[in-house]
Amino acid sequence: MSTFEERVEQGLQLERVENYAAAIDHFRQLVEDFPEDARAHFEYAGAFDSAGQEAEAVPHYYRALEMGLPEDYRPRLFVQLGSSLRNIGQYEEAVQLLTRACEIYPDHVALHVFRALALESAGQAREALSTLFDVVIEQVRTADMQRYARAIRYYVDERR
């Protein structure tokens, strides 16, 4: 019998080849075999998410979080859950979740980008644009960007 990690990899391989129905079935079985494993629920949610079935993914993401998903996977869970919430029209919940996640993981760039997307969807375009500029300023370390970082920061702050 395969180990847990081997079974996860088998399911992820199904997702990579876009065999989403098989991936969902695969991870459903993993959850049945390991009902108290937060990672199994996280991967099951991810299979739904990859298949474009975000509404089905959301409760499993929350379940994985409640069960104590290992720290290594938490930033990904927040990105994926926040994105799923946005995609199903729960914009404010997505913004709240991603804002909290950005506070916990301030250096996780994808969280900030997905937060900007959620902000824009929630009708907060100025804050979304400001967030993206913040990401650019922090991530791009070229001489040109550093030369103009103070001016860009001023203009971004002025827009807020």
Q: Specify if 60 maps to a domain.
A: no
How many domains does the structure of the chain reveal? 1
Mean pLDDT of 51-80: 97
For residue 46, what are the domain limits? 1-54
pLDDT digits (tens, 9 = 90+) for 1-58: 579 999 999 999 999 999 999 999 999 999 999 999 999 999 999 999 999 999 999 9
Q: What is the per-residue pLDDT for 94?
A: 98
Contacts 24+ apart (CB under 8 A), 10-15: 11/43, 11/47, 12/43, 14/47, 15/46, 15/47, 15/50
Q: Specify if 3 maps to a domain.
A: yes
Residue 69: half-sphere exposure toward Cβ, Cα within 13 Å: 21
Q: What is the per-residue pLDDT for 57?
A: 98
Q: What is the per-residue pLDDT for 154?
A: 85
Mean pLDDT of 54-81: 97
Q: Specify if 5 maps to a domain.
A: yes
Q: What is the per-residue pLDDT for 125?
A: 93
Mean pLDDT across the chain: 94
Q: What is the per-residue pLDDT for 95?
A: 98
Q: Specify if 110 maps to a domain.
A: no
pLDDT at 150 exceeding the cut of 80: yes
Q: Specify if 111 maps to a domain.
A: no
Q: What is the per-residue pLDDT for 17?
A: 97
Q: Specify if 91 maps to a domain.
A: no
Number of residues assigned to the chain: 160
Q: What is the per-residue pLDDT for 140?
A: 78
